[in-house]
């Protein structure tokens, strides 16, 4: 890990920001942490002292649409040249945004310490998203079929005390 590694963390939701930043600092002690915030969130950002830098960009999809400023925002983030961009939610929109910003690496950090690497090119991001979704739908269909169709007989299931 080099001293100059820049890690951008996109806070479209600032709840538990301090926890996430502390985890980021633990994981990358020498990196420069950059919080990406909307101007409104930046005013009352609770973990200001835990980041090295704050980049303010408009993150509201509606406002970006009305002002037609989406690509300007992407350009601002692209210029930051992040080594790692951290997203907090695994939505297609955020994955696409990350791919357009083109950091070296991109990861989704979810609650519970789960980290999922995600592609950093738009085509791969879209393809990866739908592939995962399709696999997931297939798996869920399999699980639901099993859960509803192969029931555990009552006699076997009655073992064990009652929690109530």
Interaction with other proteins in 136-155: which residues (CB under 8 A)? 136-137, 139-140, 143-144, 146-148, 150-152
Among 1, 13, 16, 60, binds other proteins (CB under 8 A): 16
115 part of the interface to other proteins, by CB under 8 A: yes
Question: DSSP secondary structure string, 98-158?
Answer: HHHH--SEEEEE-TTS-EEE--SSHHHHHHHHHHHHHHHHHHHHHHHHHHHHSPPPHHHHT
Residue number with CB closer to other proteins (81 or 133): 133
111 part of the interface to other proteins, by CB under 8 A: no
43 part of the interface to other proteins, by CB under 8 A: no
Q: How far is CA 156 from the centre of its chain?
A: 42
159 part of the interface to other proteins, by CB under 8 A: yes
Torsion of CA 87, 12, 33, 119, to 10 degrees: 20
DSSP structure class, residue 19? H
Site residues for other proteins per CB under 8 A: 16-19, 22, 46-47, 90, 108, 110, 112-116, 128-129, 131-133, 135-137, 139-140, 143-144, 146-148, 150-152, 156-164
């Amino acid at each position: 890990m080099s001293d100059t590694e820049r890690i951008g963390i996109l806070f479209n939701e600032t709840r538990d920001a301090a926890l996430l930043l502390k985890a980021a600092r633990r994981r990358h002690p020498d990196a420069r942490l950059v919080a990406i915030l909307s101007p409104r969130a930046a005013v009352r950002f609770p973990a200001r002292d835990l980041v090295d830098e704050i980049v303010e960009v408009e993150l509201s999809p509606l406002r970006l649409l009305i002002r037609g400023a989406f690509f300007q925002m992407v350009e601002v983030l692209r210029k930051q040249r992040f080594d790692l961009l951290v997203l907090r939610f695994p939505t297609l929109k955020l994955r696409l945004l990350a791919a357009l910003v083109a950091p070296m690496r991109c990861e989704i950090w979810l609650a519970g310490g789960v980290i999922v690497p995600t592609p950093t090119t738009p085509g791969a991001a879209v393809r990866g998203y739908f592939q995962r979704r399709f696999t997931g739908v297939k798996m869920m269909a399999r699980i639901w079929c099993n859960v509803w169709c192969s029931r555990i007989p009552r006699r076997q299931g009655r073992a064990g005390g009652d929690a109530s």
